[in-house]
Amino acid sequence: MNEQVKIDTDRAERTEKLQGMGCKRKRVEDIRFTQGKGSYVDDLKLPGMLFGDFVRSPHAHARIVSIDTSRAKALPGVIAVLTAADLKPLGLHYMPTLAGDVQAVLAEHKVLFQNQEVAFVIAEDRYIASDATELVDVVYEALPCIVDPFKAMLPDAPILREDIQDKMVGAHGPRKHPNHIFEWQIGDKQATDDVFAKADVTIKEMLVDHRTHPSPLETCQSLASFDKVKGELTLWGTFQAPHVIRTVVSLISGLPEHKIHVIAPDIGGGFGNKVGAYAGYVCSVVGSIVLGVPVKWVEDRMENLSTTSFARDYHMTTELAATKDGKILGMRVHVLADHGAFDACADPSKWPAGFMNICTGSYDIPVAHLVVDGVYTNKASGGVAYRCSFRVTEAVFAIERAIEVLAQKLGMDAAELRIKNFIKAEQFPYHSALGWEYDSGDYHTAMKKAMDAIGYKALRAEQAEKREAFKRGETRELMGIGISFFTEIVGAGPAKNCDILGIAMFDSAEIRIHPTGSVIARMGTKSQGQGHETTYAQIIATELGIPADDIMIEEGNTDTAPYGLGTYGSRSTPVAGAATAVAARKIKAKAQMIAAHMLEVHEGDLEWDIDRFRVKGLPEKFKTMKEIAWSAYNAPPPNLEPGLEAVNYYEPPNMTYPFGAYFCIMDIDVDTGVAKTRRFYALDDCGTRINPMIIEGQVHGGLTEAFACAMGQEIRYDEMGNVMGASFMDFFLPTAVETPKWETDFTVTPSPHHPIGAKGVGESPHVGGVPCFSNAVNDAYAFLDAGHIQMPHDAWRLWKVGERLGLHG
Amino acid sequence: MIPGTFEYHRPTTVESAVALLMQLGEDARPLAGGHSLIPLMKTRLAAPEHLVDLAAIEGLRRIEVVGDDVIIGAMTTQHSVIASALLAELVPILRETALVIADPQIRYKGTIGGNCANGDPGNDMPALMQCLGASYQLTGTGGSRQVPARDFYLGAYETALEPGEIVTEIRIPVPPAGHGYGYEKLKRKVGDYATAAAAVVITMAGGTCISASIGLTNVSETPLWASDSAGILVGSTLDAATVNAAVAAAEAITNPASDMRGPSEYRTKMAGIMLRRALDRARARATV
Ligand SMILES: Cc1cc2nc3c(=O)[nH]c(=O)nc-3n(C[C@H](O)[C@H](O)[C@H](O)COP(=O)(O)OP(=O)(O)OC[C@H]3O[C@@H](n4cnc5c(N)ncnc54)[C@H](O)[C@@H]3O)c2cc1C
CA distance B263 to chain A (A): 8
Whether residue B1 lies inside any domain: the answer is: no
CA distance A732 to chain B (A): 8
Mutate to test the pocket of ligand 1, among B31, B36, B186 (most ligand atoms within 8 A of CB): B36
**CATH number of the domain where residue B244 is located:** 3.30.390.50
Is it the case that residue A337 has pLDDT exceeding 90?
yes
Confidence of residue A252 (pLDDT cuts 50, 70, 90): confident
Cβ of B105 under 8 Å from any chain A Cβ?
Answer: no
Cβ proximity of B97 and B199 under 8 Å: yes
The pLDDT > 90 percentage for chain A reads 99
Residue A125 φ/ψ region, left for φ over 0, alpha for ψ in the -120 to 50 degree band, beta for the rest:
beta
Domain that holds residue B195: 180-283
Which of A599, A632, A650 terminates a domain? The answer is A650
Mutate to test the pocket of ligand 1, among B106, B118, B169 (most ligand atoms within 8 A of CB): B118
CA distances from A409 to A201, A205, A326, A419, A591 (A): 8, 12, 10, 17, 63
What is the enclosing helix (H) or strand (E) of A13?
helix A3-18
Whether residues A691 and A796 share a domain: the answer is yes
Whether residues B147 and B232 share a domain: the answer is no
Q: Taking the C-alpha atoms of B111, B114, B120 and B122 in order, what is their torsion angle to the nearest 10 degrees?
A: 10
Which of B158, B173, B188 terminates a domain? The answer is B173
Whether residues B168 and B73 share a domain: the answer is yes
When divided into structural domains, chain A yields a total of 3
pLDDT of residue A420: 98
pLDDT of residue A564: 97
List own/partner pairs for A500-504 with CB under 8 A and 24 or more apart: A500/A98, A500/A241, A500/A244, A500/A348, A500/A349, A500/A565, A501/A96, A501/A98, A501/A244, A501/A247, A501/A248, A501/A251, A501/A349, A502/A349, A503/A244, A503/A247, A503/A565, A504/A651
Whether residues B194 and B263 share a domain: the answer is yes
Whether residue A174 lies inside any domain: the answer is: no
Domain that holds residue A750: 310-492+655-804
DSSP A138-149: EEEEE-----SG
- What CA–CA distance (Å, rounded) separates B152 from B4? 29
Helical H segments across A493-624, by residue range: 532-544, 578-599
**CATH number of the domain where residue B40 is located:** 3.30.43.10
Whether residues B186 and B279 share a domain: the answer is yes
ipTM comes to: 0.96
Cβ proximity of B193 and B181 under 8 Å: no
Q: What is the mean pLDDT of chain A?
A: 97
Is it the case that residue A241 has pLDDT exceeding 90?
yes
**CATH number of the domain where residue B138 is located:** 3.30.465.10
Whether residues B48 and B86 share a domain: the answer is no
Whether residues A107 and A234 share a domain: the answer is yes
DSSP A91-133: T-SEEE-TTS-EEESS-SSEE-STT-EEEEEEESSHHHHHHHH
When divided into structural domains, chain B yields a total of 3
Residue-level length of chain A: 809
CA distance A306 to chain B (A): 13
Is it the case that residue A217 has pLDDT exceeding 90?
yes
Whether residue A212 lies inside any domain: the answer is: no
Q: Taking the C-alpha atoms of A72, A73, A75 and A80 in order, what is their torsion angle to the nearest 10 degrees?
A: 110
Which of B173, B204, B224 terminates a domain? The answer is B173
What are the phi and psi torsion angles at B275 (to 5°)?
A: -60, -45
Confidence of residue A191 (pLDDT cuts 50, 70, 90): very high
DSSP A386-423: SSSSTTHHHHHHHHHHHHHHHHHHHT--HHHHHHHHBP
B69-73 and A367-375 as β-strands: parallel, antiparallel, unpaired?
Answer: unpaired
Residues near A739 by Cβ (< 8 Å), separated by ≥ 6?
A704, A707
Whether residues A383 and A296 share a domain: the answer is no
Whether residues B129 and B149 share a domain: the answer is yes
Residue A231 φ/ψ region, left for φ over 0, alpha for ψ in the -120 to 50 degree band, beta for the rest:
left
Whether residues A759 and A687 share a domain: the answer is yes
β partners of residue A66: A139
Is it the case that residue A809 has pLDDT exceeding 90?
no
Cβ proximity of A759 and A569 under 8 Å: no
**CATH number of the domain where residue A261 is located:** 3.90.1170.50
Whether residues A353 and A470 share a domain: the answer is yes
| Burial group, residue A190, by CB count within 10 angstroms (0-12, 13-18, 19+) | exposed
User: For chain B, how long is the longest CA-to-CA vector?
Assistant: 61
Whether residues B127 and B219 share a domain: the answer is no
Residue with CA closest to ligand 1 atom 53: B35
DSSP state for residue A55 in the 8-state scheme: E
Whether residues A618 and A599 share a domain: the answer is yes
Helices (H) and strands (E) in chain A, counts: 19, 38
Q: Do A737 and B186 touch (CB under 8 A)?
A: no
Which of A634, A650, A666 terminates a domain? The answer is A650
Is A763 among the residues known to form the active site? yes
Whether residue A195 lies inside any domain: the answer is: no
Which of B138, B173, B208 terminates a domain? The answer is B173
- What CA–CA distance (Å, rounded) separates B20 from B48? 14
Residue B165 DSSP SS3: coil
Whether residue B2 lies inside any domain: the answer is: no
Compute how many other C-beta atoms are within 10 angstroms of the C-beta atom of residue A767: 34
Residue B124 φ/ψ region, left for φ over 0, alpha for ψ in the -120 to 50 degree band, beta for the rest:
alpha
Ligand 1 geometric centre to CA of A217 (Å):
24
Which of A650, A672, A700 terminates a domain? The answer is A650
pLDDT of residue B249: 98
β partners of residue B137: B146, B169
A222, A346, A341: which is closest to A287 by C-alpha? A222
Whether residues A370 and A420 share a domain: the answer is yes
Catalytic residue selected from A387, A401, A418, A614: A387
Is A404 among the residues known to form the active site? no
Whether residue B288 lies inside any domain: the answer is: no
Condensed to tens digits (0 to 9), the pLDDT of residues A276-305 reads 999 999 999 999 999 999 999 999 999 999
Ligand 1 geometric centre to CA of A616 (Å):
75
Whether residues A638 and A687 share a domain: the answer is no
- What CA–CA distance (Å, rounded) separates A111 from A143? 10
- What CA–CA distance (Å, rounded) separates B143 from B138? 8
A94-96 and A50-56 as β-strands: parallel, antiparallel, unpaired?
Answer: unpaired
Condensed to tens digits (0 to 9), the pLDDT of residues A723-733 reads 998 999 999 99
User: For chain A, how long is the longest CA-to-CA vector?
Assistant: 91
How many Cα neighbours within 13 Å face the side chain of B198? 32
pLDDT of residue A80: 98
CA A809: distance to chain centroid? Answer: 44
Ligand 1 geometric centre to CA of B37 (Å):
6
B234, B192, B188: which is closest to B211 by C-alpha? B234
Is it the case that residue A156 has pLDDT exceeding 90?
yes
pLDDT of residue A65: 98
Amino acid, res. B117: A
Whether residue B126 lies inside any domain: the answer is: yes
Whether residues B99 and B167 share a domain: the answer is yes
Whether residue B197 lies inside any domain: the answer is: yes
Residue-level length of chain B: 288
Amino acid, res. A280: G
- What CA–CA distance (Å, rounded) separates A329 from A395? 18
Confidence of residue A2 (pLDDT cuts 50, 70, 90): confident
Condensed to tens digits (0 to 9), the pLDDT of residues A500-545 reads 989 999 999 999 999 999 999 999 999 999 999 999 999 999 999 9
A660, A797, A788: which is closest to A319 by C-alpha? A788
Is A359 among the residues known to form the active site? no
DSSP B219-288: SSSS-EE-HHHHHHHTTS---HHHHHHHHHHHHHT--PPPBTTB-HHHHHHHHHHHHHHHHHHHHHHS--
Confidence of residue B1 (pLDDT cuts 50, 70, 90): confident
Whether residue A757 lies inside any domain: the answer is: yes
Catalytic residue selected from A114, A116, A221, A240: A240
pLDDT of residue A1: 60
Whether residue B11 lies inside any domain: the answer is: yes
| Burial group, residue A465, by CB count within 10 angstroms (0-12, 13-18, 19+) | exposed
Whether residue A82 lies inside any domain: the answer is: yes
Whether residue A793 lies inside any domain: the answer is: yes
What is the enclosing helix (H) or strand (E) of A789?
none
Whether residues A686 and A571 share a domain: the answer is no
What is the enclosing helix (H) or strand (E) of A53?
strand A50-56
Whether residue A48 lies inside any domain: the answer is: yes
CA A768: distance to chain centroid? Answer: 13
Cβ proximity of A378 and A60 under 8 Å: yes
**CATH number of the domain where residue A27 is located:** 3.30.365.10
Cβ-based contacts of A126 with chain B (< 8 Å): 2
A536, A418, A563: which is closest to A482 by C-alpha? A418
- What CA–CA distance (Å, rounded) separates A712 from A723? 16
Whether residues B238 and B272 share a domain: the answer is yes
Whether residues B27 and B74 share a domain: the answer is no
| Burial group, residue A124, by CB count within 10 angstroms (0-12, 13-18, 19+) | middle
Confidence of residue B288 (pLDDT cuts 50, 70, 90): confident
Computed on alpha carbons and rounded to an integer, the radius of gyration of chain A in Å comes to 28
Q: Taking the C-alpha atoms of A525, A526, A530 and A533 in order, what is their torsion angle to the nearest 10 degrees?
A: 80
Angle, helix B264-285 to helix A795-804, in steps of 10 degrees: 100
Whether residues B41 and B126 share a domain: the answer is no
Residue with CA closest to ligand 1 atom 27: B114
Residue B32 DSSP SS3: coil
Whether residues A28 and A46 share a domain: the answer is no
Nearest CB to A735 within list B4, B43, B190:
B190
- How large is the average pLDDT for residues A760-781? 97
Whether residue B121 lies inside any domain: the answer is: yes
Whether residue A501 lies inside any domain: the answer is: no
Whether residue B278 lies inside any domain: the answer is: yes
DSSP A425-436: GGG-SEE-TTS-
Cβ proximity of A504 and A495 under 8 Å: yes
Whether residues A741 and A607 share a domain: the answer is no
Whether residues B64 and B116 share a domain: the answer is yes
Residues near A45 by Cβ (< 8 Å), separated by ≥ 6?
none
Q: Do A130 and B270 touch (CB under 8 A)?
A: no
| Burial group, residue A22, by CB count within 10 angstroms (0-12, 13-18, 19+) | middle
Ligand 1 geometric centre to CA of B35 (Å):
5
What are the phi and psi torsion angles at A797 (to 5°)?
A: -70, -35
Whether residues A352 and A486 share a domain: the answer is yes
What are the phi and psi torsion angles at A447 (to 5°)?
A: -65, -40
